[in-house]
Amino acid sequence: DLTLAGGAPSYPVGTFIVDCLATSFGAANDLGDLVRKALCNYRGTIAGADVSYCLPAEIDHFDKGDNGDTWRRRLGFRLRYRVA
């Protein structure tokens, strides 16, 4: 959603949120841990962009989602990239 010029070479930095949904608090928490592990320190190519890092942002919280019947863990990430 938010793109800034950041980092040493002034590459764009994008901030995004991942919602991890499950039927229980524990399952949403475990899924969030798997997502965080997969995305943290990611380096590679996504949709034609070279990603130099992906790090956690300030968002990490739980709620019962929009309908109140599904647990949701929201995780924020910052991604520094450049178009390949």
Q: pLDDT tens for residues 6-15? A: 555 567 888 9
Instruction: Output the pLDDT for position 44.
Output: 92
In this prediction, residue 49 carries a pLDDT of 86
Report pTM. Answer: 0.79
Q: Residue 2: name the closest of 62, 59, 43 by CA.
A: 59
Say which amino acid occupies 84: A
